Copies of this chain bind each other. A is one copy, B any other.
Amino acid sequence: MLWQIDQRDPQPLYEQIANVVRRAVDERTLRPGDRLPTGKDLAGSLDVNLHTVLRAYQTLRDEGLIELRRGRGAVVIASGNGAARLSGMVVELVAQADRLGISRDELIQMIDKKVQE
């Protein structure tokens, strides 16, 4: 695993780390069931703090990409098809908007507000 990050990149280190993992999953370099390096190991090889790696892992967990367990480590859950994941999110979003009586236009408006940020 020859992952790299750039200390001078304005992008946060934990974001860079998360992106490396996301890409690996998308490219099927990492597959469901695969273990990620321990926080300590990755922190050592990237020369960053342990907490920085764990923060990256926790964001990936929140996205449903990996599973984290104390004493066990990080394991890939989701398959790498980002587009399929996006499609699922759209389905859920539309359903939720419908439940709340939010119109299509209002929904688009909400999205545009987020996009411009």
Asked if A114 meets B86 with Cβ closer than 8 Å, knowing A22-B99, A62-B62, the reply is no
Categorize the interface residue count of chain A. 20 to 34
Min CB distance, A67 to chain B, in Å? 9
A 86-117 binary contact with B (CB < 8 Å = 1; else 0) = 11011111101101101010011011101100
Interface membership of A40, Cβ < 8 A: no
One complex includes copies of this chain to the number of 2
Query: Does A104 contact B111, Cβ atoms closer than 8 Å?
Result: yes
Q: Is the interface of A mostly helix, strand, loop or mixed?
A: helix
Q: How far is the CA of A91 from the CA of B110 in the complex (A)?
A: 9
Query: Does A85 contact B94, Cβ atoms closer than 8 Å?
Result: no
Interface membership of A83, Cβ < 8 A: yes
Interface residues, chain A, CB within 8 Å of chain B? 19, 22, 62-63, 82-83, 85-87, 89-94, 96-97, 99-100, 102, 104, 107-108, 110-112, 114-115
